[in-house]
Structure 1
Amino acid sequence: MEMHGILKTTLFYKIRDLPPLPNAVLKITQLLEDTKSSASDIAELISKDEALSARILKIANSPYFGFPNPICSITHAVAILGFNLLRSVVLGVSALSLLSQEGKKDLLDRQQFWLHSIGTAIGSSLIARETKVPRTEEAFIIGLLHDMGKLILAQLAPMELSLVLERTRKENISIFEAEMKVLGTHHGEIGELAARKWRFPAIVQNAIKLHHRDPFSRGREDLSPYVYAANNLCKQGRIGWAGDYVVSPHLNEALEILGISVSGIEPLISEIKKGAEEVKNLLGIS
């Protein structure tokens, strides 16, 4: 077996051994998946976890999440978000909290990483809204989670991630390309495996896995093209940093397919940049 084949297999075994999400989160998601559950039961259970409740309300009240009026309580959030979207939010904020423990400080600048992730979330939401896709909130969550595979690499395989980042710098290639050369897999696949283990909705798993792939042949239900475009816009605008600033040569074509003209790119980047700082402060990321 080639070296990167061995690394890939070892990584996948490590992902299988990732810690589960907290019991409270598992109980909440079980309730959300049960068609017999009531909104009041779910709100009561979530409210018992003050930290989780606060994170849910911060995300839901982001001006780019899609709701025009403030969401003032968990009961209100359950009613407005609905069970499916709330499940994505609960799983998302819980996974990110679990993965936010620092690995080697010289590998990923966490502040810049989160700025890039928030920028991608905002960009995904703005593009989805512009193209009249009725799932702007899910586009936001997926944008926020799209690079969680990099956090998993930082925690489970810091030495391998260091090799990937070194290859990225030396060859001036994207982290995706460097991962394929060094590991034989990439952070999208790694993130998708973790998302599957933690029982994220299929649409979230799919977009995490595919956000670097050819965006031109997907169905309307697939939100990964919006994340692909937003991710590259953040690189072009230097909004945060998540390993590289290599912009796909297909970005303009992808945006045109999504209904965004070339003349609209710079205004969109400016809006993402402004919004990313606002949401970063809202979420208390420093």
Structure 2
Amino acid sequence: MPIKLEHILKRVQALPPLPTSAMHVIALTKNPETTAKELETVIGQDPALTAGMLRQANSAYYGYARRISSLQEAIVMLGFQVTQGLAMSAAVAPLLKTQLVGYEIEQEGLWRHSMLTAMAAKRLCRNRKFPFGDVAFTAGLLHDIGKLIISVYVQEVGDYLLEKVTKANLSYVDLEEKVIGYNHATVGGFLAKSWNLPEDLVQAISFHHAPSHAPDYSQLASVIHVANGLASLLGVGGGVDSFLNPLQQEALNQLALKESDLELLMADLGEFLVDPTLFS
């Protein structure tokens, strides 16, 4: 039942655009001339964005001993790139909290999985001393946005995909492409382009299941691939395909990761799962 590209793109265009305030924040944080006051002015015009950012900034993940009570304080203490990630979190939360029947993802399941993947990606970058941890956080947050589009098609052929994945020597994402014509990672890249996101994010999303194919950002894509795998192993909201897209040894090799490294990262992330505010 391969689906025509025009049908996929129509569904992409039907999704609401990112809030203007979030897109403005991304543009401002890319500009070295931007001041904290300018960011505060833009974010402060969107109450939902402001509330979401302050809630995340005060979660256990950021670990500040005292409460961050103002937007300006959050921007100064956390920095511009973290602010970008928090703004994106607040902007996409309503989309990612949608139930996706095709993937058997309950309400807020994709949000929880995406947040944990984002945190895993940033921790992994810190562990490997990669300089793009904040970009990796945003990429991890957005890596599965293609499921918002593909879920309706997976719902039609889900039983067939599960039957075939046990018989064929293919991952679930490979079967998505074979049966539907496109997989959720590729379609996520289409959506990221329609939102005018930077190319590093587009490639990280598009190739998070095939990081070696990313033309320019294979290392970032490998980080998201591994972070996604860790979030799935922790059993947080990934969906019916969670354990059917195994970690690729090629990605582990590129990041110089051993099994002991993965165990330490999982233990580190597991501590955050007890924080009730983390996914609110």
For residue 19 of structure 1, give the secondary structure of its aligned residue in structure 2.
coil
Measured after TM superposition, the shift of residue 117 of structure 1 is 2.1
Which residue of 2 is the match for residue 199 of structure 1? 196
User: Which residue of 2 is the match for residue 113 of structure 1?
Assistant: 110
Say if 2:132 is the partner of 1:135.
yes
Residue matched to 2:271: 274
> Does the residue aligned with 1:110 lie in a helix, a strand or coil?
coil
Specify the alignment match of 2:14 in structure 1: 17
> Under a length normalisation based on structure 2, what TM-score does the superposition of the two structures give?
0.80
Q: Runs of 5+ in structure 1 lacking a partner?
A: none
Map 1:145-160 onto structure 2 (within 5 A): 145-154=142-151, 158=152, 160=153
1:46 corresponds to: 43
Rounded Cα–Cα distance in structure 2 between residues aligned with 1:217 and 1:17: 27
1:208-247 matches, within 5 Å, as 208-215=205-212, 222-244=219-241, 245-247=243-245
Taking a change above 3 Å as real, the CA distance of residues 46 and 231 of structure 1, as seen in their structure-2 partners, is same
SS at match of 1:266: helix
Matched, 1:169 2:162: yes
Residue identity in the other structure for 1:208: I
Q: Indicate the larger mover: 126-135 or 211-220.
A: 211-220
Structure 1 vs Structure 2 CA RMSD: 3.3
Distance 1:84 1:258 in 2: 22
Instruction: State the alpha-carbon separation in 2 of the partners of residues 164 and 183 from structure 1.
Output: 8
Structure 2: stretches of 5+ with no match in the other structure:
none
Greater displacement, 253-262 / 68-77: 68-77
- SS of residue matched to 1:199: coil
Flag the 1:88–1:274 CA change in 2: closer, same or farther, 3 A.
closer
Aligned residues: 275
User: Which of residues 170, 177, 189 in structure 1 aligns to 2:186?
Assistant: 189
**Cα distance in structure 1, aligned partners of 2:122 and 2:231:** 13
Q: Deviations over 1:160-185 (max 9, x none)?
A: 12035323321236431232022211
Instruction: Encode CA deviations 1:64-87: one digit per residue, 9 max, x unaligned.
Output: 469898654321333345555534
Q: 2:246 is aligned with what amino acid? A: S
- Deviation, 1:201, is 2.4
Q: Distance in 2 between matches of 1:106 and 1:221?
A: 27
Read off the aligned partner of 1:171 and give its amino acid letter.
K
8 Å contact from structure 2 (residues 103, 154) kept in 1: no
The alpha-carbon distance between structure 1 residues 226 and 163, as it changes in their structure 2 partners (threshold 3 A), is same
Deviation string 1:8-33 (CA, Å, 9 cap, x unpaired) is: 33011221233223344455556556
Per mean C-alpha deviation after superposition, the further-off stretch among 173-182 and 201-210 is 173-182
In the alignment, structure 1 residue 262 sits paired with structure 2 residue 255: no
Stretch of structure 1 that moved more, 26-35 or 194-203:
26-35
SS of equivalent to 1:4: coil
TM norm structure 1: 0.79
